[in-house]
Structure 1
């Protein structure tokens, strides 16, 4: 394994945790805009419709994927600027 991959591992883990927090906050705000409710439904919430459950799951998946990709890419670009090596 390349030394750059080993050195980037803790940075990647920290960025992953940060992206989860950012995505979670973004999803909560997006759900409030879409449904006007505070909490998104759980899959087992019997008081919510299939439409609400599936919409919430799809929206959450999209937001988490986009935020993770943006944070990971930004981390890789910053690493290249600092070290001159792409961490992949």
Structure 2
């Protein structure tokens, strides 16, 4: 999936399942604008009543794995490494 968005802000449940997300402004992320990032993370938290374990800025590549998978596998967040990992079906 092609996108012109470089970064997203995404919330994850305790088991690493991706939940709500929104796009993030590239300039503010690359300038490490702490006020913008804090407000964006709060916006994502307010988008759901689910208890999010982590809200963070992720790259478009990671976003695509979480949302679309790789064509074969689905992905969740590895809560130890903070990177996408293949979701093992129950």
- Structure 1-normalised TM-score? 0.32
Higher relative contact order (CA 8 A, sep 6+): 1
The higher radius of gyration belongs to 1
Give the strand-richer structure, 1 or 2.
2
Give the helix-richer structure, 1 or 2.
1
